[in-house]
Every structure is written in structure tokens, then in C-alpha cells.
Structure 1
Amino acid sequence: MTPSLPIGIDDFRLLREQGLVYVDKTQMVCELIDDPGAQVLLLPRPRRFGKSLNLSMLRCWFERSDEKLDHLFEGLHVWDAGAPYRAHFQRYPVVYLNFKDLKPERADDFRGDVRELIRDLYQQHREVLDRGGLDGVDAERYRAILAGSATASLYRRALKDLSAALHRYHGERVVILIDEYDAPVHAAYLGGFADEVLGFFRAFLSGGLKSNPHLHRAVLTGILRIARESIFSGLNNLAVCSLLEPAYATAFGFTECDVRDLLVRLGRVDDLQVIQDWYNGYVFGGQVIYNPWSVLSFLRSSGPPKPYWLTTSSNDLIKHVLGVHATRLQPLLEGLLAGDGIDTVVDENIVLDDLDYDERALWSLLLFSGYLKAELRGTTQDGQGRYRLAIPNREVRRVYADSFQRWMSERMRGHGADLNALVQAVLSGDAETFERHLQAFAKNLLSYHDTGTVGPENLYQGFLIGLCAVMEPEHLVRSNRESGSGRPDVMIRPRQPGSPGVVMELKVAGRGADALDAALAAGLDQLAGKDYAAELRASGADPVHAFAVAFDGKEVRVRRAAPGPTRSGVGTIGAQ
């Protein structure tokens, strides 16, 4: 019987008791127990990488209960690790909070939502009140929270007060688990009321986590590490293990071994290459990581790969910040689409107010949100890590293609350029129409490039890749910077045999009156002398079109050539 794959189930107990496939991440418990010095641990990771499921698992392991939950962990890493770890099994009172659905549009909404969340939390632990665990003022404060009549100050100190009550009642210090702590902060930033939300969390978290004698351990997850001065002010006992750190590197997402084992269990080992192309490429603490949501979604389907992860959220913050920076950073974004990387120092602290004008804040946001991968390239003189950032896989590439397309559409309104018409011309081999629309795009967009920082050949190649990226996912658009030397500058390969494929050779004109024509002729000669289209024909593309494209500043020439060499070695040129 084929194992059943879960999608969107972040309840560890439900998953285990229903016999669904579980990729064992319980080594995280051992790592946590083995590091008692990290009393408060923040683990920022991209969305849909298993944060909620892991916190649910930690809750099942640590939370005191009269019901034995041995069956949930039998056969898993932490159970087999032995007595030192089992000594912590179902031992502590646990305070569990999940902020992932708290995405208010207004400040009033936030106040109401957070009070309801805290009231529900107090209701879960009501036995400390009902069984006489509280006296006098403490009991009155607890009742005020339950009744919804508490003052603002009581809500701000609610985490500290509850941990104290649970410690006294159970005789064990408390484990605090907070999931997606930064979700309300993102929403508040977009809504223009971030200061109020940050102010609340600064007081709420500091009260419960800083110098709290009732606290045993705390684990927080989120997407970003909001800068200490914004939300974690004075929280000196906070240890942060971002995706750049080796600690907990394999706790979130699937490793190569995880994916291979999963494919063997499902009898689908032949799908490994597709999964690697589409959903691999993340690097957490030096470990190669796959997107678990997309891997499981693909394995549940019987169709071709799709960008599953990108459809699970509105990505409002990412879209907003990319839109703000699009014009200024267009060459770099085009370079990312063409397979280039960006070398930069990465700041692990995100200051929300800096996102609209600080380029490094943008790269950090994209990295820690899962839209870029980082490979360490060295350190600066002051000890900061210098990284190369790049798009991790084909799924994430879609974000940049869509953002680039939106930006171009906005810029080109009323300028006579039509991206859809350009695409149809490329796929039909119509060089004249391709040239006309490409000329309009170049005239109105290339003026925003800084060719002093981006080499002209890379600039034009990135520009074309950005334009053609709209063809995905029906076509695979790649440059020779991704595919290697000996390939055309741009290759457009259809996903389905029988659809058209395209190769392009790009040339930059030199000096002289006839430089543009000479560059075009050189491109045609190169297409004629090298059978660039062989890979397309082998993949079933039909027909295959070959274009030489020459640039001189913002002037463009396009000619269509035969897709392979003739017997005489000279390509047949068909100007459109």
C-alpha cells in the first residue's frame, strides 16, 4: 500500500495517529536539550518549511499530560536517543501561541485579535484558576483576561503572569512555544501601524522571556529576525539560529537524504531530477535543502511540476518591496533571472523602516523569506560574512519573472510595446515583429540601466531573459550563464514536445558606421557554424527558430537564421 502524504497538516499528533508520512525531524528535540545555554531560541525560516509542525512536535514531547503519548514517538530519532532525552518527555507545562493567522488590516483589528488570542490561551490553562492555584490579585487578573475586561497593561504582561501561575501550580518551570511571531508585524508594516504592534510585542515578549524565573525554555519561529532594537530590546538571553547558521540546519525542510528515502518509499525514484530542478537549491547552514511543501505537493500529483509554494501566500510584503526597488535594481533582477548572483554582505537583522530605501535590507528580506539562496564567499575586515545570493530553483524564479513583467507593463503603457506580441513573434519566428517590439522596449527601458556597473553583454542578455521569462512555465528560458559555454546566449525550450523552441545569439556592436550590421552578421555566422538547436530538436521542439540579435546602445537589429549549419557551413538567412 502506498503511504499517504500529508499536505497542510501541521498537527504532529494528528499526522502520526493517522499513519501519514512523516519525515523525522525529532533530532531537533535532542539539539534543544543538548544546548541548555540557549534558554530563548529564535529560529527564523521561510514559510511552509515545517515550522508549525516542528513546534507541534515539541509541544507533544515536552507538555505535561495525564495521557501517555509514547506511541507518537516510537521509532523516531528522539525516542531511540535514550534516557537523557526521555527524562524531559511530558514533563513541563507548555504555553503555545500561534500568530500565523493574526494579519490585521488596522490597528483596532490587531488589538481585538490579540486579546482574543490571549483569552483563548488563558482558557486552555483555566484549571490553575478553577482548582485554586491562584489567590487574590492574581485570580482577579486571570478572570479579567477571560472576561475581556483586562487593561492594556495586563495583556502586555499576560505571558509573564501565565508562566508564573503555571510554575506554581505544576511545580515545574514553563516551556514557551511561539509560532510565526512576526506575522502580525508584516501586516502592520504594510498597513502603516507597525509602531503599535512592535510596541506591544516588545513588552509582551520581554515580560515572558527576559529574566523570567518561571521559564525553562522558549522557542520562537518566524520568517524574519526583526531587529533587536525594534522588538527584542533588552532580551539578552535570546539565541538566534538563522538559516545561515549550522545549528538546526536540517530541522526545517527536506535534506537530500530525506527526499531520496521518501522517493524510495513511494516508488518514484525517477522523479528525483525534476524535484532537484524545481524545489531544491536552498542552503541552510551549509546543508542543501528542498522545499518540503512543494516536494509533497508534487508527489501527491500526477502532473508536471508547478510552483506550489508560491500559491500558498499573497506575498504582499515581497511584492511591495520588489515594486519599490524595481526601477533602481532592474539590471540586478534581470541578472538573477539570467542565472547571475549578487555578492553582498548579509544583515541578519531586518529593520522594517529600511526596506523601502536600503538595498541590503531588500536582499536580506528575500534571502530569509526563501526567495534567494546564500553561499558564503568570505568575510569582510570587520568579520561580516560576504555571500553570493542567487535564485534557488525554477519555482522561485517565477516570482522574479512575474515582478519583472508587472514592472515592464507599468513602464510601457502608451509606448507602443506589447510583451504578448513580442512573445508570439519569438515563438512564430517573426523577426520583423520581434525587432519592432524589442526596439520599443529597449528605447524606453534600457535608459534605466547603469552600464558602468553591469557589463553590456550581461546587461542585454539579462534584459532579454527578463522579457522572455513571461513564457514560463510553458517554456524553460535559460541563458548560457546558467547552462555553460558552448550554448546559445538564450535558449527557450518547450515543456511539451511539438511546441516551438528558440535559440538566440546576442552581439554588442563595436565602433564604426556599420558596427551594428557587422555585429548582426557575426551573430548569424555563429548560429550557422554551431548547431545550437540540436538540444531543442532532441527534446522534441518543433519548429526551432534561431535569431541573431545585435545591440548598439538602445538600437536593436534582429534577423532570423537557419537553426543549424548547412553543408557549406553558411547558415541560410531569412530576414523577416
Structure 2
Amino acid sequence: MKKLPIGVSTLQKIRDDDCVYVDKTAYVQQLIESGTYYFLSRPRRFGKSLLVDTLYQLFQGNEALFRGLHIHPHWDWSVSYPVINISFASGDFTSRVGLERHIHYILRINQERLGVQCDDHDDISSCFNELIRNAKTKYGRNVVVLVDEYDKPILDNIERSTELATEIRDTLRSFYSVIKGQDANIRFVLLTGVSKFSKVSLFSGLNNLNDITIDARYSAICGYTQIELEHTFADYLQGVDLSVMKRWYNGYGWLGERVYNPFDVLLFLDKGKKYLPHWFETGSPTFLVDVLKKRRFHLPNLEAVRMDYKKLGDFDVDRLNIETLLFQTGYLTIQQEINNGEGRAPDYLLTYPNHEVRYSLMSYFLDNYLTETSHALGTVSEALYNGDLPAFEQHIRSLFANIAYENYNNNPIAQYEGYYAAVIYAFLCALGMETQAEVSTNQGRIDMAIRFIRPDGLRQVYVIEFKMVKGMESDGSAMQQIKAKDYAAPYRDGQHQITLLGMEFSEQARNLVGFAWEPLIL
């Protein structure tokens, strides 16, 4: 079997080492034939660097690497182009001086490789200008500019210092603006990164980029489609339940075909085909937790986030919209585009891409955002699966009893009544259960529904309502509302065992004061 290219982001190494390769050169051909200036945003570990390197090797005319690939018969291998390759994947970006030092280094490496020199070595923008002009003069062909991780110097500093991040952003804006002024000498440009900064803030000097981030034609330019997975990795997929794998790792979408994160696929196949949060564990969303606390964000709302076109890409150092952050970093993805009528920009409905992100993100938020303590989840899951609701009640009581007094006082979100629903929502998501929040019915909205297959093979649904009550005693209002609004109606399909569950919390007790359940006889 071919090797799995874990951690490999260069086409040369993949081909030389006989690694599995998913051919994306049809997208590359379409890009090159359709335009000149492009921008692409994708989450981390999504294959952006490999895409950039593929373009580098193609424009360099390394024909042997492309034999057997889609683009091979469609490319003129007698022609090669000078390529300026810029990557901010590594480097010291803790100061403007460090950033400029790194850019000087990148420009020097490109000068040496292309065999040209810049007379102005002090000013990075002037040197970049000279590099493009001199490369065009020497090779007699227009220049290709590829920029990978264009935004990393800014992102590395947003949490540390807004002032420094702004200074870094402004330095990069001046640097990138060189490209537009060199239009007569440019053959092709691609900038890639995780975030999409506002055009006004970062790309005001390079406003001719075609942003293909949300474009159905290029939705699968990075990542693996279901067909690509099953065809290219067929030898590795023996014995794998593809429906389970799809639920765990597929689901990322940018209006077109949905894809798997490549890193997840490769680690899953390499590490005994165990369903683990491989991608999630490559980065902790600590910065997101800080933003969530400031916003007092209600976590169940992440099930369905509606955003307009402008906000989806409206990101800047001093304007951090949590929904935009979650989308651009890969924790949310586009579920559907909503047409607002002729002459109006669309809205987008966002949700979790897959099970890995949903349960991992909620586990992290439960421990670091909602409660700041870690929780054992195994026995809770058993209680629910076995219908042992008294045991489940004790777990919920213990959950809130273990939340430190300081957490209630220091965590601002603990002061609103949705806090209790948010904690339980995150708690249940962390169990890996199919949890739906605020389910709409013709009588209102169900606070939460949990569905799963019981050990006896029957389908189970818990219909849950949360209430805040005054004082220290239950008033039965949660169960009363479930029945009055007939929240069980959507599940009376003859296929579900239905249990109604009402939970009542007291702000004074900071815990449950009412826990009532009632199975429905079908």
C-alpha cells in the first residue's frame, strides 16, 4: 500500500515517497484559466500549504511530478515561470522588527533561488517591488506570487496585544500592496490563510483579489470529498463503517461539495481507525473562550447561527465577532445559503461540521468556559442509555455542586438563567449524544431533545424543558409546559420511546430544585 502523507505538505515528497495523493489539479487548472488574483481561507491543517506547493511546482514546470494527474495533458511543459514563494508558517512575529527581519529573510531566499538581486535591502516593500521587476526582466515572463499563511503574524499577536497585532497588520498591508502595483509583471497570485481579514483593514492596497473562500466551484479545492476518500484510500478502508466515519469527520462546506479534513482522515487511518479528535487536538481554542466570556454567548445557539454575507468575512484586530471567528477557524461551517430575495445579499446558516468538532468543542467549553473544572462523563452516559434517570439526576446535581462558588461570581455568564441550560447542553454534547437545542414545533420551542439507540435496539428521545424558579422549591412549571405545548408531538412517529423531562433550577440554590420525568405510553 502507498504511504500515508502525514505531515507532508510538498508535492515532491509525496510523489517521491510513493504516498497516497488526492489529485486536486483539476481545481488548479480551473483557477489558472479563470483569473489571476486569488484569495483562499481554510481552517488549519486543511491542505493549504500543499495546494500552494502544487502551484509552485506547476509554474516551475516540474513535469515529472504531474504525470498521471489531471492537469498533465492540459499544461504547456515547455514553459516555466519565475515564482516568488512566501510563507509565514514559521518565524518570530512577536514584534514588528521580528516580522520585518523574517520578510527580509524570505526575500533573500527568493533572490538567491531566482538569481536576481534587490538594490534596496532596507525597505521590504521596495525590495519586493524590485524582486518582481528583476525576475520578470531576467526570465522574460510574468511572475507568480504565492503567499502561504498570510495572516499568521497577525493571529499570533491578537491575544497577546491588540496594539502589536495592529502594527503587524499595517506592516503586512504595505507589503502586500506591492502586488497590485506590479500588475503588468504578474502572471498569477494566490494568498492563503486561516482568517479573512476585512478588505478595508488589510487588503485596501490589494483590492483586486478574487476571494474563492465561499464559492461552490472551489468548495473541495482542499479537503477530501466522499468519493475521493473511498477511491483513493480504498486499501486503508477495509472494515471501516463509512457512515460512522462520515458523521465523525466529514461535513465542512463552502456552498459546494462537503469534505473531510485531511488531517483527520490520515490520523484515523494511521492510528488503528479509532474515532478520536485528531484535528481538534492540534490547537486549543483558548482565545475563543475569552471572547465567549465577554459576549456571554449562549452555547446552544451554535446549533444554528444565522449570519449575513458581510459579517461572515468581517474580521479585524479590533472587531472580533465570535460567530465569524468560529466559522473561519473551522468550528462552524455553512449548512445552507438563505436567499433573501432579488437584489439582496444572502444570509448563511452555520452549524458544527461534524461529530468530532461538536463533542470536542463542547467538552473544552464545559471544562474551560462554563465551569473551569474537568468532568467524568462515562457513567453519565451509561445512566442515560439505560434509562436510569435517578442516577442521571444525581450526576446533574453533582455537576452544579462541583462548580466553585468563585466561578459563579467571576464568570459573567453564570449570572443569566440560560447558564444552566448551556452547561447541560455542553455536558450532553460532550457525551457524544445527538443533542438538539431549541427545537421548533408549531406550539413553541423545545429547550432540548436527546436522541439515541438504546441497548435494547429501540430509539429513545428525551424531551427536556428548563425553568428558573423563585425560592428553593420546585413548582412543576417545566413539566407543565412540556405537556401544555405538547412538545412530544414531533416524535410521535411510532419509532421513538418518548420520555418527558422537566428540570427546574433555583438561582439561590445554584442547582436543581426540581427534576421530574414521565415516559409516554404509545
TM-score, normalised to structure 1's length?
Answer: 0.73
Give the one of 415, 432, 448 matched to 1:476: 432
Matched AA of 1:29: V
Which position in structure 1 is the counterpart of 2:387? none
1:477 deviates by 2.8
Is 1:77 the equivalent of 2:70? yes
1:334–1:463 Cα contact (<8 Å) kept: no
Give the one of 373, 397, 413 matched to 1:435.
Answer: 397
Kindly indicate whether the alpha-carbon contact (under 8 Å) linking 2:14 and 2:21 is maintained by their aligned counterparts in 1: yes
**Structure-2 change in CA distance of 1:552 and 1:9 (3 Å):** closer
Distance 1:191 1:518 in 2: 47
Contact 1:210 1:237 in 2 (8 A): no
RMSD (Å), alpha carbons: 4.3
Q: Which of 102, 109, 117 is the aligned partner of 2:98?
A: 109
Distance across 2 between alignment mates of 1:300 and 1:61: 29
Does residue 274 of structure 1 match 2:244? yes
Q: Deviations over 1:160-179 (max 9, x none)?
A: 21111111111111111111
The answer to whether the 8 A contact 1:476-1:492 is kept is no
Provide the rounded CA distance (Å) in 2 between the counterparts of 1:215 and 1:59.
14
Match of 1:369 in 2: 329
Structure 1 residue 195 corresponds to structure 2 residue 183:
no
Match of 2:427 among 459, 462, 467: 467
Q: 1:324 maps to what in 2?
A: 291
Other structure's SS at 1:160 match: helix
Question: Relative to structure 1, is the Cα distance of residues 23 and 484 closer, same or farther in structure 2, using a 3 angstrom cutoff?
Answer: farther
Contact 2:43 2:328 in 1 (8 A): yes
1:28-177 matches, within 5 Å, as 28-35=27-34, 38-63=35-60, 69-80=62-73, 82=74, 86-87=75-76, 90-102=79-91, 104-125=93-114, 127-128=115-116, 140-141=119-120, 150-151=121-122, 153=123, 155-177=124-146
Q: Does 1:335 align with 2:323?
A: no
Q: Any conservation in 2 of the 1:280–1:290 contact (CA below 8 Å)?
A: yes
Structure 2 SS opposite 1:128 = coil
Separation in structure 2 between the aligned mates of residue 282 and residue 492 of structure 1, nearest angstrom = 23
CA deviations 1:269-308 (Å, max 9, x no partner) are: 6331222111111112322121111011111121421111
Which residue, 504, 513, 520 being the options, matches 1:551?
504
Is the 2:474–2:513 contact (alpha carbons within 8 Å) kept by the matching residues of 1? no
* Matched position secondary structure for 2:38: strand
* SS of structure 1 residue aligned to 2:215: coil
Moved more, 428-437 or 106-115: 428-437
Where 1:302 maps in the other structure, the secondary structure is: coil
Q: 1:29 to 1:480 in 2, by over 3 A?
A: closer
| Structure 2 equivalent of residue 224 of structure 1 | 195
Secondary structure of the structure 1 residue equivalent to 2:503: strand
Unmatched 5+ stretches in structure 1: 130-137, 142-149, 411-417, 452-458, 538-545, 571-576
Measure, in 1, the Cα distance between the counterparts of 2:503 and 2:269: 44
Task: Indicate yes or no: 2:368 matched with 1:406.
Answer: yes
Query: Per-residue displacement from partner, 1:79-101 (whole Å, max 9, x unpaired)?
Result: 14x3xxx2266511111111111
CA contact (8 A) 2:92 2:102 kept: no
1:252-277 alpha-carbon deviations (Å, 9 max, x no partner):
11112112213424342633122211
Amino acid at match of 1:402: Y
What residue is the counterpart of 1:386 in the other structure?
A: 347
Q: Which has the larger radius of gyration?
A: 1
After superposition, the Cα gap between the structure-2 partners of 1:50 and 1:556, relative to the gap in structure 1 and judged at 3 Å, is same
Structure-2 change in CA distance of 1:294 and 1:190 (3 Å): same
- The alpha carbon displacement at 1:159 in A equals 2.0
Alpha-carbon distance in structure 2 between the residues aligned to 1:521 and 1:365: 39
Structure 2, unmatched stretches of 5+, are: 384-389
Q: Distance in 1 between matches of 2:468 and 2:158?
A: 49
8 A Cα contact 2:327 2:333, kept in partner? yes
Partner of 1:573: none
Amino acid at match of 2:333: K
Deviation at residue 227 of structure 1 after TM alignment: 1.5
Distance across 2 between alignment mates of 1:30 and 1:232:
25
Residues 1:400 and 1:480: Cα distance change in structure 2 (over 3 Å): closer
Distance 1:482 1:551, change over 3 A: closer
Which amino acid in 2 is paired with 1:5?
Answer: L
Deviations 1:492-540 (A, max 9, x none): 9799x99xxx98553456999997347569989x9xxxx99xx999xxx
**SS at 1:270 equivalent:** coil
Instruction: Determine the C-alpha separation between the residues in 2 that align with 1:219 and 1:22.
Output: 22
Q: Which amino acid aligns with 1:100?
A: A
**Does the Cα contact within 8 Å between 1:16 and 1:72 map onto a contact in 2?**
yes
Scaled by the length of structure 2, the TM-score of the pair is 0.80
Q: For the Cα contact (< 8 Å) 1:181–1:222, is it kept in 2?
A: yes
Could you say which residue in structure 1 is the equivalent of 2:386?
none
- Cα 1:511–1:290, aligned 2, differ >3 Å: closer, same or farther? closer
Indicate conservation of the 8 Å contact 1:175/1:218, yes or no: yes
8 Å CA contact 2:479, 2:502 repeated in 1: yes
The 3 A distance-change label for structure 1 pair 103 and 246 is farther
Residues 199 and 207, structure 2, Cα contact 8 Å, conserved in 1: no
Distance 1:350 1:307 in 2: 29
State the secondary structure of the residue aligned to 1:251.
coil
CA gap of 1:309–1:120, structure 2 versus 1, over 3 A, is same
Partner of 1:352: 316
**Which residue pairs with 1:14 in the alignment?**
13
| Alpha-carbon distance between aligned partners in 2 of 1:483 and 1:268, rounded to the nearest angstrom | 38
How far residue 214 of structure 1 moved from its aligned partner, in angstroms, is 1.8
Matched residue type, 1:78? I
In structure 2, the CA distance between the partners of 1:39 and 1:419, relative to structure 1 (3 Å rule), is: closer
Segment of structure 1 superposing worse, 224-233 or 399-408: 399-408
- Aligned positions of 1:197-212 closer than 5 A: 197-212=168-183
| Distance of 2:380 and 2:190 partners within structure 1 | 55
Match of 1:261?
231
Work out the CA distance in 1 between the residues paired with 2:41 and 2:248.
Answer: 23
